[in-house]
């Protein structure tokens, strides 16, 4: 079993780096943010409030979710829909419920045990989900860089509202009571503000090699 945990705030480049690293290694990748987003999408559709922990956990427990190249929720491809502004607006408080987290963390651990070699990205992967990961990475970038990347992904203009929404979500994810976003003690901290994807990936491959893991 060899697992790489990549944590960091929105727009830090986690998804891009995780995908590029997984490709170089020939390993699978799991985007755990997509799992919280799927629960948020279900909550919107079923009109379940963001404070109703038991009902939200029920949605998480009952859903059939496949997180790969495409995100397939109960048989429907929701890859684009889970990245909408509507989902952005509710995913953070929904992900703060311990019962929701328990359900998704169990699925993430089962997925990792099944795949054995993988890159897993999120907020609490190195600290909670996979504390025995061979490499833990905390990826960060300046807030302006992260907001610009998020606008680029959306193909929208970078404006004050987008920056403020991202900052609000980061603050909520970092200060929540359960499994907040923080740098694990043994994590490799990388600021990607001025680094290209390939540079970050090279650093991670070097760190893996130091730990005796070769592609
Ligand atoms: O990485 P992302 O923006 O797709 O994540 C969406 C939300 O899900 C984010 O606001 C925090 C939450 N999340 C979490 O709490 N734990 C994870 N492991 C991944 C995401």
The answer for residues whose C-beta is within 8 angstroms of residue 176's C-beta and 6 or more apart is: 95, 96
CA atoms of 4 and 126, how far apart (whole Å): 8
Distance in Å, CA 52 to ligand 1 centroid: 18
132 forms beta bridges with none
88 assigned to some structural domain = yes
Pocket flag, ligand 1, residue 95 (CB < 6 Å) = yes
Q: Does residue 101 lie in a domain region?
A: yes
Q: Is residue 141 part of a domain?
A: yes
Domain count, the chain: 1
Residue 140 Cβ inside 6 Å of ligand 1? The answer reads no
Query: pTM of the full predicted structure?
Result: 0.95
11 dihedral zone (left: phi>0; alpha: psi -120 to 50; beta): left
Does residue 35 belong to any structural domain of this protein?
yes
Q: What is the CATH number of the domain that holds 14?
A: 3.40.50.300
Residue 214 resides in a domain: no
| Residue 92 CB less than 6 A away from ligand 1 | yes
Does some domain include residue 116?
A: yes
| Residue 13: domain span | 2-209
Does residue 215 belong to any structural domain of this protein? no
Written as tens digits, the pLDDT of the chain (215 aa) is 999 999 999 999 999 999 999 999 999 999 999 999 999 999 999 999 999 999 999 999 999 999 999 999 999 999 999 999 999 999 999 999 999 999 999 999 999 999 999 999 999 999 999 999 999 999 999 999 999 988 888 788 888 888 999 999 999 999 999 999 999 999 999 999 999 999 999 999 999 999 999 87
């Amino acid at each position: 079993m060899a697992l790489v945990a990549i944590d960091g705030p929105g727009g830090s480049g986690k998804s891009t780096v995780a995908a590029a690293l997984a490709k170089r290694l020939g390993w699978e990748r799991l985007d755990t943010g997509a799992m919280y987003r799927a629960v948020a999408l279900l909550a919107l559709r079923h009109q379940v409030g963001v404070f109703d922990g038991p009902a939200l956990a029920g949605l998480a427990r009952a859903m059939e979710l496949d997180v790969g190249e495409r995100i397939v929720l109960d048989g429907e491809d929701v890859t684009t829909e889970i990245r909408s502004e509507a989902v952005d607006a509710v995913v953070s408080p929904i992900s703060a419920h311990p019962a929701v987290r328990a359900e998704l963390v169990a699925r993430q651990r089962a997925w990792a045990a099944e795949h054995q070699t993988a890159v897993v990205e999120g907020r609490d992967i190195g600290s909670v989900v996979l504390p025995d990961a061979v490499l833990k990475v905390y990826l960060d970038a300046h807030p302006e860089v992260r907001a610009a990347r998020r606008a680029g992904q959306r193909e929208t203009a970078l404006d004050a509202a987008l920056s403020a929404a991202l900052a609000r979500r980061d603050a909520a994810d970092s200060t929540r009571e359960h499994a907040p976003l923080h740098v694990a003690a043994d994590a490799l901290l990388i600021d990607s503000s001025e680094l290209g994807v390939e540079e970050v990936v090279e650093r991670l491959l070097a760190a893996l090699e130091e730990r005796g893991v070769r592609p």
